[in-house]
Structure 1
C-alpha cells in the first residue's frame, strides 16, 4: 500500500462537497508538504489481494437534476502504482468510465477540492440557510423545540433542501444526536450536515429526507401486487439501514413510521436518534444519560416484552415497576429493534397508524397483553399472509429467537422480486 493513501471519513466527504459547485471532487487532505493523498478507501495489501481489490473511491458533487442524489461515489481501479504522483490518470479513468456507461449525460469533473482538517464540532455558517420558519411546522418534538424545512444556498449550485431541528441551549439530546450521527454515513440513514447556534437555541442541520412514512398510512390500493411492492421495498430499505446500525453497535429504540422518512423516489431514511444508544462494554456515560427519565417516555405499543416494565408487583395492586437506568440500557438490543420493525410494518395497514393494537385503548394494558400473556399483534385484514408470517418471527417472545435484520432483508428482497 502506498504510504500516501489515507482514509477520509465518508460523512466528511458529503459535508465538504455539498456547498461546492457541481463537478468538484475530493482528492486529498492538505499536508505539510502538500503531498497528494487519495480518497476514502484503499484495500489492504495482503498477498491474496488482486489488482481488482485495489481501488479508490472518487466522490463527486453532481447535478441532482441528472442523478437522484447530491453526491455520487465511484469505485475506480488503482492501476497506477504511484497514483499520488499522477492525478490526471485518475480523472482519465473516471471520464472513460462515464463515456462507456449507459448514462447519456454525466457531471464532468471541474474542480479538485483540497480538504482542511476536519472540524470536530461540525459548525456551519447560518448565513447560507434561507426560508427558516419554525412556525411552518406546528408540532414540537419530545426532546426538541421545533423543526422546520429550509434552503441551503451557496454560489454556483442549486439550492439544497434541508431540515432543521431546534433545541434549547445545553440540551442533552442535542449533544447526543450530534455525537451519534457524526459517525454514521449510510444511504438509508438520515444525513447530518452540521450544526449552528444562536443566543437561545442550538440547531442540527439534516438532509430533507421527504415526508414521514406515517403520512403514507394506511396504504390505499386495491391491488395486492402494488401493496406488496411497497411493503417489501420499504421493509428491505429499513432492514438494510438497521443492519448498518447493528454493525455500529447502535440500538435505535424508537423505530416507528413517524421516525422514518420517504421521498418522492421511494427512498427511505431512518431518522430521529434522540432515543438511540450505542452499546459498549464498560462505562458508557453519554448513552446511559439518555435513560435519565422514566421508562414511560418510551411508546409501549412499539416495545418488545423485555423492554416493558412488569404490569404490577406480585401480590400487590401497586403501579408498574420502573426499571433502573442500567436495566433499561441492558434490555434494549438490535433484537428489540426487530420487534419494533414488525410493528412499524403493521402501521402501514392501520387506519390510525399511531395506535398499533387498535383494540387496546389504554397502552398500559399492553404490559399484561404482551409481557405477561405473550400475545402478539393480530393480523389486520389488509395485511398479506406472506408479510404476517415474517412479522410473527419478528415477535418471538424470547429475543434470541427473533429473526435477524439480515434475514428480514433477504426475505423482503425475495418478496419484492416476486411482486415485480
Structure 2
C-alpha cells in the first residue's frame, strides 16, 4: 500500500532500494540474540525528513551502537525485491528493515524475520490491536508496529449535514448527489493494489474474510463475501459509483473530490491537508471526514502502514531490538505524526488534544484503525492480491458475475497456496 504523505495506499508500500555497500556475509543463525554494535536500518525514501533526525538522536545517545540509514527509492516493488535479494543472500548488512504490513507473512514464513519472543520480546501493551495483528504471523509477533494508516470517508458538509453511519445510509444519500449533478461515491477501483484494499474492506465489513488464519486457506465461498463484493458491483451498475471511478487510484479520486465532483470519497488521511490547502481545491471549507460506513456502524478499513523487523541474519540483534523499542516510544511516535503526517501506533497519542489540534482527523482515524483489518496475512500475498484484483475488477465492470468472480478468486488462491 503506498503511503504518500500518509500511505497512499493502505499499505501499498513506499520504497525500492538503491543497492550500495551491502555486505554479503551470512550473518547470524537466528539463535544468537545477544550481539551488540553498529546496525543498518533500511527504509523507503525519506521524503518528509523523518528518519534522519531520529537516527541522529539515536546515534548521539548510542555512540558505540550507531545506526546507518540505507535509503530506498519510492517504488514498492523495487523495495520488496531488494529485500528479498538481500535476505536470500543471507546479508548481515540489513539489520532492521521497514516492512509493508502485507509482507509480514511472506517474510516470516521464509524464516527471514527474527521472532520477537523471549529476550527479543517488545512491549505491545500500549499499541492499537490491529497494528499488532499486522505484525503477527501464525500467532507469533515478527515485527514492531511502526506507523499505521486507515481509510476515511470524506464527505461534503454543504450537501449532507450528518455523515452516513452505514453503507445503506450512504447509498440513500446518493439521491443528493444526483440532484447536485455530481458523482456519489468513489474509492480506488482501478486494477491495482488499491482495488485489493477496497474489495477487502467491502468483504470484511460484510463479515467475510479472504483467507483463514493459517494464511493459506481461501474463505471466499460465503454469503458474507458475496454481500461485500456485491455492494461494489451493484453500486457501479446503478451509477452510485460513477463510471469513471473504475479508473481511479488515490490521486484521481482526490482530484475529483477537490474539484467538487463527488459527494463521498474513500481515501487515506493524506488527502485531508491537501484538500484544505491546494489552490485548486473547491471544497476547502465544505468537507469533513468520518469512519468508513459499515453494516450498523463503522466499517472495516484495510489497515495500512509499516512495521520494523529484525533480519534473521543480523549479528547485532540486541542493538536492533533496542532500536525497535526506540521507534515505538511515545516521543518517536509523536514525531512521526507531526513531522511526517504518519499515523502513530500508540493509542494514547490519538487522545492528545494538542496533536489533534494539529491533525484534526486523528480522532476519526483512531476509530478507523480500531476497526481495521489487515489485508490477507499470507506467505502468498502476491498471488492473493492478483486473484482479488483480476476477478473483482471483472465483476465490477460486469464481465463476470459476483459468484463466478469469487469462485475464481477462491480457486486461484487455493492453487497458489498449494504450490500448483
Report the structure, 1 or 2, having the larger helix content: 2
Same-fold call, TM > 0.5?
Answer: no
TM-score by length of 1: 0.26
Which structure would you say has the larger Rg? 1
